[in-house]
Amino acid sequence: MTSAAPRSRVAVLTALRHSGELTQVEIGAATGLTAGTVSTVVSGLIDDRLVRVRDVVRTGRRARAVTLIGPGGPLVGVHCYLDEARVLLDPGDGRAVVEAVEVLPDGHRADVAVDAARSLAAGLLAEQDLDPADVLQVAVGVPAPVEVRTGRVGGAGVRDGWGPVVAQPELFAPAPVVFDNEGNLSALAEARQGAGRGRSTVVQVSISQGVSGGIVHDGELVHGRTGTAGELGHLTIDPLGPVCSCGNRGCLQVYAGSAAVTSLLAASHGPMTLAEVLDRAAQGDPGCRRVLSDVGRHLGTAMASVCTVLDPDVLVVGGALSRAGDLLLDPLREVLAERTAVTSGAVVDVVAGELGASAPAWGALLLARDTALAGMLAG
């Protein structure tokens, strides 16, 4: 491919990065380019094997759908979390993305998660008969805030142990590696190819063992000044509440994480896993339903402020608790209706995430693709 990247080519690739697949007419609408220019750029991208084109029918008319397949080599997306490591491999040659996951012990150290991810990635590469040396880019989502400009872990004390791990650029050598907060990556995936698809401003909050979040505007993550924008788990619900892992008191995470849910039920129901709470709530258990409703209301208290500031198109709720569906989301919607109507006029659309536990790994794969494409375009 040419080393220079004409502006129209970058514009078409950007539209495709955000949407995955668009018709040529949709690319024209998204970029403001003429049909002729779009056609010329797409032909060049086909020659460079960055896109694939197929004939489709849209609103009764024949159209050419353009799918981004580049940058033409294997990409790896990794999610290191508090209870598992998950890896997605895109072979980069038209074969489907493959996935592997390993459950991790409670309270494991950061390097345990990364070692697990490395062996999962090696296993997937071997299974697909790919050489690790050919991997173009690895991206890793970590349960800690990452300063995008410096690549360092921010917010000292939020997650001990992740700083030294993120500081090792040779972690997946010889492939280059980039890191971001896993809540950000989950939001990126839901915004581009999940429940927020086609919407302009997407706020995503994930409730699992921890509470994380991310903000995406027009297909790109909002990182803020240092990279910690969207750390929604540390919004204050009660300044006199229990102390959080970040050192503040009464953060959303203290009231909405899975430990909060199970501990509230310990006296009445005995020890339960989160999955058991969700199952019994679905079967009608009033105590389990009440706890999920309370989480939804706490979430509403925190998200009302976020929605007042950002006025997003959609609020996506992901993570393990999102399986509760409307048992969680209806109380959230009620609080948002009470507290945001004055400022935004209409209550924000609240939906459950579509990508499940794989959302952060899908976001990591998208970040790997973005990074590799940016490297190619920079020549």
Residues that bind Zn ion (CB under 5 A): 234, 244, 246, 248, 251
Which residue's CB is nearer to Zn ion, number 244 or number 260?
A: 244
**Nearest approach, Cβ of residue 247 and Zn ion (Å):** 7
Contact between residue 201 and residue 216 where contact means Cβ atoms under 8 Å apart: yes
**Nearest approach, Cβ of residue 39 and Zn ion (Å):** 51
φ, ψ at 319 (rounded to 5°): 85, 175
Contact between residue 89 and residue 97 where contact means Cβ atoms under 8 Å apart: yes
Residue 82 corresponds to which amino acid?
L
**Nearest approach, Cβ of residue 286 and Zn ion (Å):** 30
Contact between residue 264 and residue 274 where contact means Cβ atoms under 8 Å apart: no
Q: Is the dihedral of CA 278, 281, 286, 291 positive or negative?
A: positive
Which residue's CB is nearer to Zn ion, number 248 or number 308?
A: 248
Which residue's CB is nearer to Zn ion, number 232 or number 327?
A: 232
**H or E element, residue 173:** none
Which residue's CB is nearer to Zn ion, number 251 or number 299?
A: 251
Strands (E), 28-103: 51-58, 61-68, 75-80, 84-90, 98-103
Which residue's CB is nearer to Zn ion, number 249 or number 280?
A: 249
**Nearest approach, Cβ of residue 34 and Zn ion (Å):** 50
Which residue's CB is nearer to Zn ion, number 241 or number 356?
A: 241
Task: Please give the torsion angle defined by the CA atoms of residues 162, 163, 167 and 170, in that order, rounded to the nearest 10 degrees.
Answer: -20
φ, ψ at 203 (rounded to 5°): -110, 130
| 73 CB-contact burial (10 Å; exposed 0-12 / middle 13-18 / buried 19+) | middle
Tokens 């492939």, located at residue: 175
**Nearest approach, Cβ of residue 146 and Zn ion (Å):** 17
Which residue's CB is nearer to Zn ion, number 233 or number 296?
A: 233
**H or E element, residue 29:** helix 24-31
**Nearest approach, Cβ of residue 234 and Zn ion (Å):** 4
**H or E element, residue 351:** strand 349-352
Tokens 């779009």, located at residue: 38
Q: Beta strand pairing status for 75-80 and 137-142?
A: parallel
**Nearest approach, Cβ of residue 248 and Zn ion (Å):** 5
| Cβ neighbours around 236 below 10 Å, total | 16
**Nearest approach, Cβ of residue 220 and Zn ion (Å):** 26
The residues, any chain, with a CB within 8 Å of residue 160's CB and separated by 6 or more, are: none
Which residue's CB is nearer to Zn ion, number 210 or number 331?
A: 210
- Taking the C-alpha atoms of residue 2 and residue 36, their distance in angstroms, rounded to an integer, is 20
**Nearest approach, Cβ of residue 331 and Zn ion (Å):** 22
**H or E element, residue 94:** none
Which residue's CB is nearer to Zn ion, number 80 or number 251?
A: 251
